A and B are shown apart, each in its own frame.
Chain A
């Protein structure tokens, strides 16, 4: 057993917590622009879950192999190492309802019961902020029993009393004869949660974080587990895998950045990726 890491970032802790949610042999799905999730899946694949299968929105393939995170070359993994391929109509109409794979979504807004919004902040017809859209969250949360969430920046912007426009169903939402299962797990940069009592329920706090701080950054009353734990830190080996093997370019850092800071980091990553590629081509 590897020693606990003494030096790790919050992004790395999120990746490790996502990896711990993965069971060996299951099918996991990656959505659009979710590098923290992919890094977590790859970590699971390289540690306790060597038999998982990946399906990705980008590429629409099944994969059992792994590859390092990339900006320009994501298709080298999803298409270059694919075992089988499908298209998005098959994915939506056949594969997702049938296999109900595990997927981590990133809600823009969420209420206590796990109802989410990824379309707008504010009024639909005159929004404060227009978001990209909900993809398939409005489709799968109706029936899917393995929905997980991750929130890289825990704040009252995301965790709200009432979602402006609901585009994903929380626990028990929907028609009474077919209530939605709701999410089962949520990881943020402050703690881990489940929805066992039907509402967001704090089960562990990350090292150095207080319950008061989490409650202050949440726009509704949190349920607190009576046996509240501290999130176990990553092991030294997990951090090494993330930094040296899975994501040497640091793409996982992008999700917690926004605006000019994200663009600056993107510049750095794109340049490093080009340089690394040039070196590889010369070696060949």
Chain B
């Protein structure tokens, strides 16, 4: 059998979305309004894969759509919001109505939790939390004594996603990916998750620059030009602030459902004047895996 065929993980958005099962812990890569897997979220909402635990270092527009669509049972993040655009409207609404389970996280609980999984241990000790109310609202999190000094630390429990979805500017068919910064915890998510899906602006035969994610960890690669829009994908395109604002205004006037319908039926990015030079590149074309 041709080895390159075995290693070719390129597939379609539809096939990749089938890797997420109801009830999974789904980790979404990127940072606030930057490099979020928006096209993948669109596909997931179309499929209606629900009962999800959403894990995101920071959660933004893409996560608010998933919550608004009713597919998220539980949220784990240290920040869920739209930066200078304000609160994440659907998340805030569901949280205030008590309609969503929240496992409160901080930067340290996610970072140390992922590092624990990668190190193959059940927890990582860290400074932080002691004296705050975090331990009260996270009764599952315990303290540990330093066996050398006796000082108490928080034992941040290991975190392991079922599926991680990360959008990249560039990836190869075997799943190597270049992220160009604003990494958040994407590299850790790709190593910790059971299943890893990369969506990329471009999929090429072979990368000629240093990779951030090694294809070893990756199960599926999908070429989706503009797959992060309206969030940014540096350096290919910036944040589409007008679209984020359109979302916030729709929600403020109680029109989330109409916005969602529009979002689901829009195939790609909506036509608006670009503020940047889109790189001229030849798409490799999507191919079914089997």
Q: Could you tell me which A residues sit within 8 Å of B by CB distance?
A: 32-33, 35, 57-61, 71-76, 78-80, 82, 85-89, 91-93, 97, 119, 124-143, 165-169, 173-175, 177-178, 180, 251, 254-255, 258-260, 262-263, 266-267, 270, 273-274, 277-278, 281
Contact = CB atoms under 8 A, between A and B. Distances in A.
B114 A89 contact: yes
A167 B34 contact: no
Given A165-B137, A167-B134, A127 B107 contact: no
Given A139-B107, A263-B248, A87 B127 contact: no
Interface in B121-136: 124, 126-134
A174 B81 CA distance: 28
Across chains A and B, which 10 residue pairs bring their CB atoms closest together, nearest first?
A174-B131, A132-B81, A136-B107, A139-B128, A130-B95, A139-B108, A87-B183, A92-B111, A72-B238, A33-B83
A60 B181 contact: yes
Nearest to A260: B252
B106 A134 contact: yes
B98 A125 contact: yes
B132 A97 contact: no
Contacts of B112: 92-93
Contact of B79 (A72, A127, A132): A132
B259 interface: no
A126 B184 contact: no
Nearest to B234: A75
Interface stretch (B86-94, B261-269, B279-287): B86-94
Contacts of A262: 86
Interface in B149-194: 151-152, 180-188
B6 interface: no
Contacts of A93: 108, 111-112, 115, 124, 126
Contact of A73 (B95, B129, B238): B238
A124 B132 CA distance: 14
Contacts of A74: 239
B77 interface: yes
B34 A58 contact: yes
15 contacts: A71-B239, A79-B182, A88-B57, A132-B79, A132-B87, A132-B88, A133-B106, A139-B107, A167-B133, A168-B132, A254-B84, A258-B86, A259-B252, A263-B252, A266-B84
A82 B127 contact: no
B187 A87 contact: yes
Most A-side CB within 10 Å, residue of B106, B184, B232, B277: B106
A111 to B, nearest CB: 13
B207 interface: no
A175 B130 contact: yes
B98 A119 contact: no
B24 interface: no
Most B-side CB within 10 Å, residue of A60, A86, A139, A266: A139
A75 B108 contact: no
Contacts of B137: 124, 165
A136 B108 contact: yes
B58 interface: yes
Contact of B111 (A82, A89, A169, A281): A89
B258 to A, nearest CB: 18
A227 B15 CA distance: 70
A133 B77 contact: yes
Nearest to B109: A139
A127 B187 CA distance: 34
Nearest to B152: A175
Contacts of A173: 131
